[in-house]
Each structure stands twice: as structure tokens, then as C-alpha cells.
Structure 1
Amino acid sequence: MSRADERLPEVTEAPLPAEEARGRLVRSASVITLLTLASRLTGYARDKTIAAFFGASAASDVFYTAFRIPNLLRQLVAEGALPGVFIPSYAERRKNGSVEDARLFAARILSALTLLVSAITVLGILFAPAIVRLLAKGFASTPGKIPLTIYLTRLMFPYLCFISVAALLQAILNAHGRFAISAMSPILLNLAIIFGAVVLAPRFREPTVALAVGVLVGGILQMAVQVPAARSLSAIGSWNVRFSDPDVRAVFFLLVPRLFGFGIYAITIALSTRFASVFGDGAVSYLTFGNRVIELVRGGFVISVSTAILPLLARQALEDDRAPFKDTLRFGLRLVAFVTIPWAVGLAVLRETVIAALFQGGRFGPAATAATAQALSYYAIGLFFISSSTLLVFAHYARKDTRTPVFCAAADLAVFISVSIALRPWGVASVAFATSCGAIANFALLLGFLRHREGRLGLKELAATLARVLAASAAMALIAGRGAAWLLATYPPRSTGERLLFLAAATLVGMLVYLGAAILLRASEPREFVRLLVARRGPRP
């Protein structure tokens, strides 16, 4: 056996026992969560920097709209379709084929992906004017806003090439149980954008161009930092374009339905931006900053669980015994419910305090805080459903079913459009509330279809968890929420430091009340999580 083969052992071990599989999931998710939390904190620092220097203004609207276009494609590649279809196929080759087969498969997918996203980048640059006018028709009322958005869109589109390669490298590393490097790589993007805002912006006639430069540099760094880890595994070969390879065609065939699903998602985002753009300057930024807070939770924990769970589900989906697959999915949903529901309640109760502590200052004033807080409260309604849908989509992908999520996404879009139009007098809040309503519909359909195809999923256990979590969250809102309201009225914080200190104290008290109530209600999740976290580690898969 060659030295490379020793680095990349074939996966022929027996399926993991449920207890050990849960333990690995918890430990992997914990590592990813810690690193992702660091990434989200630097992401907050990035948004705080942009808010301080640009406020919720026409300039910030332009940057966020221009970045949203290549970032939409990044979400397709990095957080959805590519890992979802690549990891199950790669796991199957590691199990049933040779080491060289797996390496060749990865090299050919990487080569084909590079050519594909390069072509998309060229088309995006050419058609940027049409894309921007479709996304942000309301910008035309402000002179110069549309041309600047087009310029920044063209400047940032190559980011898609770098982040797509980084996403495939991440999928390969995750399939080998290596999560740390990929989880920390977004920190580099955030630091690059902060550098652009603080150091480069004063040197540009149009300061937002410096932010775009930071995005490009960050994308390059995210790709480059993962290359040594992938090479150390000898997991990818040299450039190898072979579109005639049936394995490559199979992966891209599975990708096609997801592309339709992405098209639906892109329409949702485009309509969200378009609906918001007619509500005046700052409206897009209100939604962006409100959604950023939701992403601190969803990205800090839920994406971590999803990233850790997909390789495990992909291996379990290959087995005849469906019990481990269902057990892993149900356990993941219970963890998501236990974490996201109290956070959603807390964010809704302390919405203005949260936004003021995180963003108020500089050109981001009290009016922007109030508008963003309103959007946050409506986004919070859908936090559990959006988060759980991520796991359910990955469960469908693990079964090599990429069509069902497309249908569910279409239903999400239909609900979003209907609610947005019906509640347009609400202003910006209508877009946030419509997003949550669409997420609820998406979750219900994804779960229903999975139960129809897999049989009983043990949803009574999940329902019991939801009941205890809701009761504990209500206790938290009643006790910690009233205490926070009294403290705010008696000793109102006057500076950013005081607001952050108050928010940290309120969060700590709320967590203690919630955990205490959950334990009194005999919730098993806290004890189970700690037990699995400290359990003896088995060998890396």
C-alpha cells in the first residue's frame, strides 16, 4: 500500500452503534459551534464596523444588495446543494470503491465545478445591470445608486469562484471528519472586510469599493487556508476534466433539481430586496441587520449540527437498517429545538435592547434601531422552522432525493409572496413576517414527505421535547423578561458598553432560568448532551 493510501483509509467499518454515533455528532458539532461562534462574532464586528462607518444608509444598501447576488450563489454551493449531493456520493465511493477511485472522483468534480462557476461569473459580470435592476428597482429613485450597485456587483462576482472551490474542499474535509479548518475560514473573510472598511475605505473616492475589495481578498483566503489540509489527506488529485465520467454526470444530475430549488430561493431573496427597496433608504439594511442577529444563532449552532450530521446521515442512508438514520435525525431536531426556541423567545422579548447593544452608534441611530428591532421580532418567529428545515433538507439529500426540497421551496415562495402582498401596509415588517410564514410551510412539507417515505420517525419524542422547551421558554420570558424590563426602566443604559453589559447579564440570567425550568420539567437534552460530550472518543471515521 502506498503512503497516500495510508493517509486515506477505505471506509469499510461496520455501522456505528447509535450511542457512539450520537457522541461523535455532539463532539463534532461542539467543535464546529465554538469555531463558528468565533466566526459569527467577527461577523458581528464586521457588521458593527459597517454600521458605524456607513449607518443604515443608501451606501450600506448598495453594498449589501451588490454582495447579496454572488452571496446567493455561495449559499447554493457552500451551504446547500454541493455538500448535500457530493458527500453522500463521496462516502459511497470510500465505502465501496478504492482510495484512488475516491481521489479521482473528487478531482474531477473539483475541475468541473471550477469551469462551471467561472462561466457563471463571466455571465454575472456581463448581465449585472439587468440583475441589479431586477433586484432593486426602488434604487432608481436615488441618483447614482443603481450604477454604483452594478459596479460593486461586477467587482465582487469573482468571489464566487474562490468560495466555490473552498466549499468543495470543506465537503471533502468534512467527509473525513475534519471540521476545524473549514469552520474557522469565514473568520478570514470577516477580517478582510473589516480591514477594507477601516484601513482602505479612506483611500477610495467611493468608500464602499473598499468593502468589495475586502470580500475578494477574504474569498481567496478562505480557499487557500483549506488547501494544505486537503493535500495532507491526499484526498484530491491533479486537474482532471472528464465530463463523460458517469460519476461526475450523476452528481451534476442530482444537482439539477437543487438548481431549480435555488432558483426559487433566489426569487425569494430578490423579491425580499425588491419589496424592501420601495420602503425608502435604509429598508434593505433594516432587514439585513435583523437577519444577521438570527444568523448568529442559526449559523453558530444549527449550521454546525447540520455540517456534522450530513456525513453521518450519508453513511447511515446506505444501510438497510433505517433505525440509525431516523435516530440521528430525530436527535438533531431535538437539539435544534432545545437551542433555537429559547433564543427566538429571548430575541423577541429583548429585540430593541439587542439591536441597540449590537449596532447602535455612529450613523446608526435610535430610529434605525427601532425599525431593525421590529424586523428581528418577526424573523424570530421562524427561527426554529428555518433551522429544522436545514436538517430535513440534508436528510433528503442523504437519501439522494434532491427533488422534494424543490417542491417544498416552491411552497415556501408562494406563502412568502402571498403574505408580503397581503401585509404590505406593515412596511418592512411584512417582509420579515412573510419569511417566517414561508419557513413554517417549508418545514411542515419537508417533515411530512420524509415521514411518508421513511415511515414512523418517532415524532412523539420530538413533540415531548417541544412541549418542555416551550414551557421552559415561557418561564424564561416571564421571569427574566420582566426583570429586564424593570431594570431597563430603572437604570436605562446610556452607552454601548452599558448596553452590551446589560445584554450579557440578561442573556446569562435567561439561560439559567431556562435551564433550571427545563431540568425541573425533566428535559433529557442537557444531561444527554453533557454525557455524550465527555464520552470516550472512538477512532475517527
Structure 2
Amino acid sequence: MTLISRVLGFVRDMMLAILFGASAGMDAFLVAFKIPNFMRRLFAEGAFSQSFVPVLAETRHQGTQENVRQLVADVSGTLAGFLSLLTLLGILAAPLIVLLFAPGFADDPGKFELTANMLRITFPYLLFIALTAMAGAVLNTYGNFALPAIAPAFLNISLIACALWIAPRLEQPIYALAIGVFIAGLVQLVLQLPAVARLGLLPRPRWAWSSPPVRRIIRLMLPIIFGSSVAQIALLLDTILASLLISGSVSWLYYSDRLMEFPLGIFTIAIATVILPSLSRQHAEKNARSFSATLDWALRLILLICLPSAVGLFLLAGPLLATLFQYAAFTPHDVDMSRVSLMAYAFGLVGFSLVKIAAPGYFSRQDTATPVRIGIVALCIGMSFNVAGVLLALHLKWAAPHAVLAVGTSLGAFINAGLLLRGLVRSGVYATQLSWFKELGRLLLGCAVMAVVLGLMAPPLSWWYEASAAARAAQLAQVVMAGALAYFVTLWLVGVRPRHVLRSETSL
């Protein structure tokens, strides 16, 4: 289901690149969407889900069905009330928010006004999608992962439909994308309600700010808002700095980030979503062995997938961008500018993935202080690098200063991941094994062989700029399949078998 959603996301981004390119209007929409989407990742995928799921799992394990219903009623009512107020404030203060998150747009009054107007349309997405995340968390806790995983596909469908059918009818076509975001949030929420109702967990929401479970979730949320979303905060700060650079910088970072998010979304977030309820249940049951085994399985599987993905993104950055986006308004120059930032993001893919897997090891145990401290350290280092790097790039007149932002974000992700993993080991909740070094060596060997194959088979970048769409797609498919075959054959020859990544000690 996640794969379907991500593939539709690529179709969506191809449509946006073809119709709007890396224009000032596209920059404006990306900021108008990124602001509520950033908050969505804090309240929905980040702070809320990471704090709500452990409490829900504990209530289900130790209480009755009526206790679960009461928890859902209290949390849904309180969450909806708070976010309704926040949404209203966001709509009224849209110009101030744009000035805060994209200060560079103030130099272009038309671009600034366009961004503020679209933000008023997109901001309600935060309310809809946070309630959607709550419904998804309930379904995940009860073992239903398919419906919440497919729901994001409707964002892609909505944006594609609005870009094709509404945009041509508007005086300013870019507004159609903001309308598409609003519609998508509402549709995703409505889609999940029947499944929640079938569980008997769709009670009437009620405001319950003083309820002990709600207060407990809020206490857990406050530090997680920062700790679990350091990567998203860093990416948003990248947008602030990018808004100060030449027009198109925000779009170049967006398109390269989207390609990096593809393996991150398909594999890493999917696995992290699955293990959080499991880790929460195992912690509630005081099953330390299964807890450690679940973390170990997730980390091994992530490295098996994300190491070659990072190598592939780095070596095939240009061919991927040219094949997917270089049509109509998206020029070869846009491909070249996006390519350098994608190569930098590829470096950080493993770091981003390890953070997503390690963080549930803390949140499932309701430990929020440690990730906060670690997140602050990683963010400060990454942003210090970004500010210094951008100033140096501008002073030396580098052609692609926006790529420095991607490098700093990737660096911060690795620091964050390393400190999180070290904390899990030192606390004794995750027991590493000596076989890790041997298995990591095998994976790196497979990546090296794959890199050689990709380097030999991929034509020079100039070919990708000039070839037809069909020729690009066919050539890219051949190169990717050859690289994947080389990687997995190498692993097989050095002794890696499917059983090495299958669960044996515990079950999800």
C-alpha cells in the first residue's frame, strides 16, 4: 500500500514539474504546503502518534474496551479542539507565518502575497490529517496497517486531478494545487472512519483537557514535538535559507528531497510504523528479549535496503531526475541543480532511516527526554554547518549553494542516529551482536559491486538530457535492474540468505 502511494507521488511530482517547473509560483506553493505539512509531521506522524500509540496499547493491554473508547473520545475531542484553534490562527496570521518561514519572499511582493493566499487554503489540511493520523494509530494498534498506508495516495490523486482539471480554469493555475491539498485532507479523514467504527471505537469526541490520560499524552508530546522531528525541522530551516537564494532553490531542494523520500517512505517509515505498536506491547508485557529482537530485525532490514538505495541515488541522481522530471517547464539546468542536492541527500538516507527506527525504541518506553537532548545536539550541529556553508558558498560564488543545505541536513541525521543507537545500547534495551560487523561488511561489498555495475552501464549525463522519454525510461530500468541484480547476487555469493532478515524470536 505504501508502495502504491509513493508511486502515485512520483506521478504527481512529474505532473507538477511538467506543468509548473521550478518557477516562482511553484516555490510559493511548496512553502504554502510545507508549513502545514511540517506541522502535520509534528502533530501526526511525529509527536502525537509516538505518544498516543504507547498509551493506547497499554490501555488496551491492561484495561477494557470501554476504557479504550473513553480514551479515544477524550483524545479526539481535545486534539480536534486544539487544532481547530491553531488552524484559525494560521489562516488569520498567514502573512506573518510566511514571513517567518520564507523571509526571502518579502523582496518579491507578488510571490509573498501568492504564498500567503495559498497558505490560507492549505492550513486546514493540518486539522484533517492530524485526525486522520489518530484514526490510523487506532487501526495500527489493532493490526490494520493497509488502510492507513494507502490513505496518503489520495493526496497524490487529488493534486493530480486538480492540476489537470481545475488549474486550466483558474486565472492563476497554481491555486489549484492549494485546493487539491484541502480536498485531500478531508478525503483521507473520511476514508478511515468506517474502519474505526467497525472496531467500536468511534465514540462522540469530547473536550477533556484535564483527563489524566490526555494530560499524560500531552506531557509525552511536548518534548517529542522536537525530539522526533529533528529531520523535518532541519528540512524546514533549509527552506528558510533557500528562500534567501536565487529563485528555484526551494523547488530544486524539493524535487531532490522527494526522490530521497521514496525509499525512506516505502521501507523505513513502513517498518517504523509496524514496530511501534509491537515495541509498545512488548514493553508493557516486560518482554525485554522480544523488544531487543524487534529493534535488531528492523535495523538489519533497513541497512539491507537503504545502503544500496543511497548508493543508487548518489550515482544515478542525474538520470533519475532527467527521466522523471525533465519535460516542458523543467529544464536541463533544473535537473543539474537538483542533481547536486540529491547526491547530498543520498549521503544522509541511511542516517534518516536509522533515526526513524531508533526513535520508537525510546517512545515505546515513554522516554521522551533522551531524544530531545540528542535532537538538539544534532540540529545545532547541522544548522551551524548550513549557515556557515551557505555564507561560504555565496562568498565563493558557487553555482549550487543550495546543495550545502542538503549536506548539513544529512550530517545532522547521522549524528542524531548515532547518538540514539548508542543510548539504546547503553541503556541495555538493545543488545548488539558480533555478527553485525560481518553482515555490514557483506552489505558494503554488495554495494561496491553494484556501484561498479552502475558506473559501467549508465550513459553520460548529456545523453539523458537529449534522449526521448521512452529511451530514458528503458535505459534507466535496465541500469537499475542490473545494479539490483549485482547487489543481491553478491550477497548470495557471500552467504546472505532470506532467513537472515526474517523474524525468528518474536512476531509482529
Bigger shift: residues 195-204 or 416-425? 416-425
1:216 aligns with 2:190: no
Partner of 1:52: 18
What per-residue deviation string (whole Å, max 9, x for no partner) do you get for residues 301-356 of structure 1? 11111111111111111233311101110110000000011011011111100100
Partner of 1:72: 38
Match of 2:425 among 430, 451, 462: 451
- CA–CA distance in structure 1, aligned partners of residues 358 and 158 of structure 2: 33
Partner of 1:258: 224
Partner of 1:31: none
- CA–CA distance in structure 2, aligned partners of residues 210 and 126 of structure 1: 21
Match of 1:483 among 457, 462, 469: 457
Partner of 2:475: 502
- CA–CA distance in structure 1, aligned partners of residues 346 and 430 of structure 2: 29
* Count of aligned pairs: 499
Partner of 2:129: 163
Partner of 1:474: 448
Query: Which amino acid letter does the alignment assign opposite residue 435 of structure 1?
Result: T
What per-residue deviation string (whole Å, max 9, x for no partner) do you get for residues 72-124 of structure 1? 01111232221211111111111111111011111111111101111111121
CA contact 2:51–2:217 (8 Å) conserved in 1? yes
Match of 2:412 among 416, 426, 438: 438
Over 3 Å counting, the alpha-carbon distance change for 1:482 and 1:280 in structure 2 is same
Bigger shift: residues 345-354 or 494-503? 494-503
Q: What pairs up with 1:41-120 in 2 under 5 angstroms?
A: 41-120=7-86
Cα drift, residue 281 of structure 1: 0.9
Partner of 2:490: 517
Q: What pairs up with 1:236-255 in 2 under 5 angstroms?
A: 236-255=202-221
What secondary structure, in the 3-state scheme, does the structure 2 residue paired with 1:423 have? Answer: helix
- CA–CA distance in structure 2, aligned partners of residues 454 and 41 of structure 1: 39
What secondary structure, in the 3-state scheme, does the structure 1 residue paired with 2:286 have? Answer: coil
Partner of 1:274: 240
Query: Which amino acid letter does the alignment assign opposite residue 37 of structure 1?
Result: L
Bigger shift: residues 48-57 or 455-464? 455-464
- CA–CA distance in structure 2, aligned partners of residues 398 and 273 of structure 1: 31
Cα drift, residue 262 of structure 1: 6.7
Partner of 2:270: 304
Bigger shift: residues 245-254 or 170-179? 245-254
Bigger shift: residues 323-332 or 403-412? 403-412
What per-residue deviation string (whole Å, max 9, x for no partner) do you get for residues 386-424 of structure 1? 011011111110010112121122112111112112322
1:126 aligns with 2:99: no
Structure 2 spans left out of the alignment, 5+ residues? none
Bigger shift: residues 466-475 or 437-446? 466-475
Structure-2-length-normalised TM-score: 0.94
CA contact 1:104–1:236 (8 Å) conserved in 2? no
CA contact 2:193–2:202 (8 Å) conserved in 1? no
Query: Which amino acid letter does the alignment assign opposite residue 483 of structure 2?
Result: G
- CA–CA distance in structure 1, aligned partners of residues 231 and 408 of structure 2: 14
What secondary structure, in the 3-state scheme, does the structure 2 residue paired with 1:382 have? Answer: helix
- CA–CA distance in structure 2, aligned partners of residues 500 and 307 of structure 1: 32
- CA–CA distance in structure 1, aligned partners of residues 93 and 375 of structure 2: 26
Identity of aligned residues (%): 37
What per-residue deviation string (whole Å, max 9, x for no partner) do you get for residues 481-524 of structure 1? 212247x7889861122111211111111111000111112224
CA RMSD of aligned residues (A): 2.0
Q: What pairs up with 1:131-146 in 2 under 5 angstroms?
A: 131-146=97-112
What secondary structure, in the 3-state scheme, does the structure 1 residue paired with 2:434 have? Answer: helix
- CA–CA distance in structure 2, aligned partners of residues 511 and 406 of structure 1: 37
Over 3 Å counting, the alpha-carbon distance change for 1:521 and 1:422 in structure 2 is farther
Query: Which amino acid letter does the alignment assign opposite residue 39 of structure 1?
Result: S
- CA–CA distance in structure 1, aligned partners of residues 278 and 227 of structure 2: 24
CA contact 2:41–2:229 (8 Å) conserved in 1? no
Cα drift, residue 459 of structure 1: 4.8
Query: Which amino acid letter does the alignment assign opposite residue 434 of structure 1?
Result: G
What per-residue deviation string (whole Å, max 9, x for no partner) do you get for residues 20-78 of structure 1? xxxxxxxxxxxxxxx11110111111111111111011011000011010000111123
Over 3 Å counting, the alpha-carbon distance change for 1:232 and 1:283 in structure 2 is same
- CA–CA distance in structure 2, aligned partners of residues 262 and 328 of structure 1: 19
- CA–CA distance in structure 1, aligned partners of residues 454 and 232 of structure 2: 39
- CA–CA distance in structure 2, aligned partners of residues 279 and 135 of structure 1: 14
Structure-1-length-normalised TM-score: 0.88
Cα drift, residue 271 of structure 1: 2.3
Query: Which amino acid letter does the alignment assign opposite residue 44 of structure 2?
Result: A
CA contact 1:162–1:223 (8 Å) conserved in 2? yes
Structure 1 spans left out of the alignment, 5+ residues? 1-34
What per-residue deviation string (whole Å, max 9, x for no partner) do you get for residues 232-258 of structure 1? 111232222222221111111111112
